[in-house]
Amino acid sequence: MIRPAIAADLPSILDIYNDAILNTTAVYDYVPHTLAMRESWFAAKQQAGFPVLVAEAQSQVVGFGALGAFRAWEAYRYTAENSLYVAPQCRGQGFGKQLLAQLLQAAADMQLHAIVAGIDADNSVSLKLHEQFGFQEVAHFPQVGYKFDRWLDLKFMQCLLPASDLPASLL
């Protein structure tokens, strides 16, 4: 089941995110986050009107996804960046696919035009998942991160949502 996240989900979200920090190159960070950091992150998403979704199986949060600002300037307001994480024991079971589908629907409902995903170049599973939803590689940044004693390449992928005209207020 995919549903909007609630504050009670934050400890599970934190565990999933910290696993990504400690054991993968999905997050270019070294130090696990605290619950206070996740609470602040969640509050900021809510205040900005961005969705945070969770995948739930057997009453347990097994993954989460969110949309957030791509860049802070006003002209980027129709573009968002997505993030997507699944608990290690639940990867490969379709939760990421379900989360991404719902995030893209939420983006369309928000009248967003473009979604950007920053993905480690060696994360073939995430790259293929995003390709299935129409994302295309638009940038490859060699050696921009350093983790696990090696340089990491970052790819940006982009999905343009179905054609939407500019809002009347911009014409």
pLDDT tens-digit map of 7-16: 999 999 999 9
- pLDDT, mean of residues 100-113: 94
- pLDDT, mean of residues 111-126: 97
- pLDDT, mean of residues 81-87: 97
% residues pLDDT > 90 (the chain) = 94
Q: How confident is the model at residue 171 (pLDDT cuts 50, 70, 90)?
A: very low
- pLDDT, mean of residues 21-29: 97
Over residues 140-160, the pLDDT tens digits come to 999 999 999 999 999 999 999
Show the domains of the chain with their CATH numbers. Answer: 2-170 (3.40.630.30)
Q: How confident is the model at residue 162 (pLDDT cuts 50, 70, 90)?
A: confident
Task: List all residues 6 or more positions away from 146 whose beta carbon is below 8 Å from its beta carbon.
Answer: 152
- In one-letter notation, the amino acid at residue 170 is L
Q: How far is CA 62 from CA 69, 76, 84, 93, in A?
A: 24, 31, 11, 10
Helix ranges, 72-148 (H) = 95-109, 124-132
pLDDT of the residue at 34: 98
Mark 30-58 as b/e (b = at least 16 C-beta within 10 Å): eeebeeeebeebbeebeeeebbbbbbbee
